[in-house]
Amino acid sequence: MAVIHRTTLSPTKLELLAPWLPTRPWYAGSASPVLDRSGGFRLDDPQGEVGIEFMVVTDTSGAEPVAYFVPLTYRGAPLAGAEDALVGTTEHGVLGKRWVYDGGHDPVLAERLFALLDGRAEPQAQSETDTPDPTITHSRTGGPIGSAVATATDGPEGTDLSVTGATLRLNRVLHPAGDGDPLPEGATGHVSGPWRTPEEAEVRGAFAVLRTA
């Protein structure tokens, strides 16, 4: 169970993300994003070592606001071989120095996300300890995916997490959709949830879409 500490981060998450987002192939905004936290949720690492957060941030620097899905992991030491996925480091008021990674490229986050689709993990509130988040919905058809290690690939449309027989697309640029909207053609599962617009309206959409071979 992840413990949410009421403490400081220096630099903050948004301060880390502002220079990092424009380096991503799926980012569609300006070179100087203006970011607000708009939503998200967490998953627990059963080993208690890695913090796992799925943030929604909205960039208001352009003509129209754009919401981005940004999974992050927080580690107490560098993740070997993941230098390209490092967002930055921050000083946590309780835990000390933390290495912050693009979670799509962290094997712990990928495994937990597939576990969520398999029904082996429960979404947790973003800012509360030991509090399930019922607003995060997920479904899939077919047999269990298991705990295979995913290969992550970034592209202009998002990040693909591929395991044997299945690919989970992380929708980095989010688009509102009604709860009753059908999944994209060929999809066999999804993870969806809410976020807030700059006008404080709540909308929902697909954070991730699963396709199986």
pLDDT tens string 49-99: 999 999 999 999 999 999 999 999 999 999 999 999 999 999 977 777 999
Q: Are 138 and 116 in contact (CB under 8 A)?
A: yes
Residue 206 predicted with pLDDT over 90: yes
Is the model's pLDDT at 153 over the cut of 90? yes
Percent of the chain whose pLDDT exceeds 70: 92
Count: domains in the chain = 1
In a domain, 198, yes or no: yes
What percentage of the chain exceeds 90 in pLDDT? 77
At residue 68, the pLDDT reads: 98
Supply the range of the domain harboring residue 45: 9-212
Task: Evaluate if pTM is beyond 0.85.
Answer: yes
Is residue 154 one of the residues assigned to a domain? yes
Cβ burial, residue 147 (10 Å; 0-12/13-18/19+)? middle
Q: How far is CA 105 from CA 81, 85, 89, 134, 213, in A?
A: 10, 6, 16, 26, 22
Does a structural domain hold residue 4?
A: no
Residue 2 lies in a domain: no
**106 Cβ partners below 8 Å, 6+ apart?**
50, 73, 79, 82, 85
User: What are the tens digits of pLDDT across the range 31-48?
Assistant: 999 999 999 999 999 999
- Within-domain flag for 1: no
SS3 105: helix
Per the domain annotation, does 3 fall within a domain? no
